């Protein structure tokens, strides 16, 4: 476990999955991340790579071959990363392709993850992903974040708000009970000054695609912002919460789960990113933990 710290926040990041595991607000002693209760949801903030969501029947096709992918959200979240560099305010970790990963994902990838506290704003945390294609052919991948945030002390999730700065009405789609996307069945989310109450009777995953959402956050019953996730340039965003847990996940995505009934190739899969041989791409977002 690697610990980053400044005057306001104490942040813990594990080598397993390069997962953000704790954000302690030092000013009031409040933990800001979900504690990963295995009886409800056993993650804090997993990295989703090289898939976001599920593939149909646990298998996919690329290069004329079929490969298994039995787990949703890929495999990076369950693998040990190597620590490349650590300072009091940042840590960079790396995962490389192995013989085992090539058996289920036939690409020679590299993945670097950096968590860093902002030099100017002590309540802002940056998360940076760099995806490398170290192979000789084109690489397909998806990547996403999945942090689960606790509510303000003493507040029920049902009394809190999700907010989308600068938006009035948004459309979203959800997933079927098996976890596959239903993009043709859209819903309208009406916002009041950018805010909507957390509604337990809504579909458990709200998926926003190509909606120009640069930020999303959680506010307390008084609508005072508690957490803001800044994700400009991300093509997809999801909001998800297990009804039994006192947390809400705000998820910035490049890529998403298969459409229900999808039977195409990886090149045809909605949302997949492409990276040429020898190329790399850096993607970043940040989280503000308001006082």
Task: Write down the pLDDT at residue 196.
Answer: 94
Q: What is the CATH number of the domain that holds 250?
A: 2.70.98.10
pLDDT given for residue 198 in this prediction = 86
Looking at residue 60, its pLDDT comes to: 97
Report whether 30 contacts 133 (CB < 8 A): no
Sign of CA dihedral 260, 265, 269, 273: positive
Low-confidence ranges of the chain (pLDDT < 50): none
Token pair of 242 as six digits: 């297990």
- Reference 116, options 92, 136, 150, 84; nearest CA is 92
Q: What range does the domain containing 81 cover?
A: 2-289
Give the pTM.
0.96
Largest CA distance in the chain: 56
**Number of domains, the chain:** 1
Distance CA 174, CA 13 (A): 30
Q: CB neighbours (10 Å) of residue 233?
A: 11
What pLDDT was estimated at residue 243? Answer: 84
Q: Give the pLDDT of residue 203.
A: 65
């Amino acid at each position: 476990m690697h610990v980053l710290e400044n005057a306001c926040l104490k942040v813990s990041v594990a080598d397993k999955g390069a997962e953000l595991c704790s954000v302690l607000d030092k000013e009031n002693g409040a933990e800001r991340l979900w504690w990963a209760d295995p009886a409800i949801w056993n993650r804090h903030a997993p990295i989703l790579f090289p898939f976001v969501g599920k593939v149909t029947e646990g298998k996919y096709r690329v290069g004329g071959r079929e490969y298994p992918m039995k787990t949703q959200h890929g495999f990076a979240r369950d693998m040990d990363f190597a620590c490349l560099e650590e300072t009091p305010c940042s840590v960079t970790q790396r995962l490389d392709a192995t013989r085992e990963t090539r058996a289920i994902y036939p690409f020679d990838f590299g993945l670097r993850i950096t968590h860093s506290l902002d030099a100017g704003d002590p309540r802002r945390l940056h998360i940076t992903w760099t995806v490398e294609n170290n192979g000789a052919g084109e690489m397909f991948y998806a990547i996403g974040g999945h942090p689960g945030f606790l509510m303000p002390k003493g507040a029920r999730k049902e009394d809190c708000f999700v907010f989308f700065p600068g938006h009035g009405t948004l459309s979203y789609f959800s997933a079927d009970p098996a976890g596959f996307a239903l993009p043709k069945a859209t819903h309208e989310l009406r916002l009041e000054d950018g805010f909507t109450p957390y509604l337990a009777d809504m579909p458990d995953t709200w998926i926003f695609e190509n909606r120009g959402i640069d930020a999303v956050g959680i506010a307390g019953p008084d609508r005072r912002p508690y957490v803001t996730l800044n994700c400009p340039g991300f093509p997809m965003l999801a909001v998800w919460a297990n009804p039994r847990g006192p947390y809400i996940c705000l998820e910035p995505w490049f890529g998403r789960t298969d459409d229900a009934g999808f039977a195409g190739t990886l090149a045809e899969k909605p949302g997949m990113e492409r990276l040429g041989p020898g190329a790399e791409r850096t993607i970043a977002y940040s989280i503000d933990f308001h006082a």
